[in-house]
């Protein structure tokens, strides 16, 4: 683990590498969805399986949830009703560009929340949270990479 003075900077770098910055591991989350159109984003890889579009909203939601836990913000401020998974089937009320913009906004808000965490707080829990702040921050970066891999696999399965 880096010295405490660099710990926040390292976590911010980790978050950005998982989401949008070039990294050695391959495609990040934003890169995995870049250029995808609504029809393939709404296509399910199998019966009862989540599609790429739902993964976009799911990852936005968890960025929001971690931000909320870090900042102590009230629950219920995510723009969509519900939690965790949100159905997207490409229907008339669905808007992929809006949902990708939401994902980017949630990432910016997460970075801002992490910047406000003091290095000494990384091993402590936010009020109402089960996990230490540093654990949640590292976890949300891993979450982005996990789902980036899922998106890449779904795209590959849809390619003839």
Q: What is the pLDDT of residues 101-128, one digit of tens each?
A: 999 999 999 999 999 999 999 999 988 8
CATH number at residue 58: 1.20.120.450
Instruction: Count the domains in the chain.
Output: 1
Which residue range forms the structural domain that includes residue 62? 4-158
- Portion of the chain with pLDDT greater than 70, in percent: 97
Which pLDDT band, with edges at 50, 70 and 90, does 5 fall under?
A: low
- pLDDT (tens digit per residue) in 87-97: 998 888 889 99
- Give the CA dihedral 106, 109, 110, 111, nearest 10 degrees: 130
* Segment 54-72 mean pLDDT: 97
Is residue 117 a contact partner of residue 133, using CB atoms and an 8 Å limit? yes
Q: How many CB atoms lie within 10 A of CB 149?
A: 15
Which of 51-65, 70-84, 110-124 comes out lowest in average pLDDT? 70-84
Query: Mean pLDDT in the chain?
Result: 93
């Amino acid at each position: 683990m880096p010295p405490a003075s660099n710990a926040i900077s390292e976590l911010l770098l980790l978050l950005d590498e998982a989401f949008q910055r070039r990294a050695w591991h391959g495609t990040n989350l934003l890169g995995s969805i870049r250029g995808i159109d609504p029809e393939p984003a709404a296509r399910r890889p199998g019966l009862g399986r989540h599609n790429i579009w739902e993964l976009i909203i799911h990852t936005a939601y968890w960025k929001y949830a971690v931000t909320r836990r870090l900042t102590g913000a009230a629950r219920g401020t995510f723009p969509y009703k519900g939690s965790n998974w949100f159905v997207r089937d490409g229907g008339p009320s669905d808007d992929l560009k809006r949902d990708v913009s939401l994902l980017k906004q949630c990432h910016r808000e997460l970075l801002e929340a992490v910047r406000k965490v003091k290095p000494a707080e990384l091993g402590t829990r936010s009020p109402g949270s089960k996990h230490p702040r540093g654990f949640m921050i590292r976890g949300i970066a891993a979450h982005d990479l996990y789902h980036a891999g899922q998106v890449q696999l779904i795209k590959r399965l849809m390619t003839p």
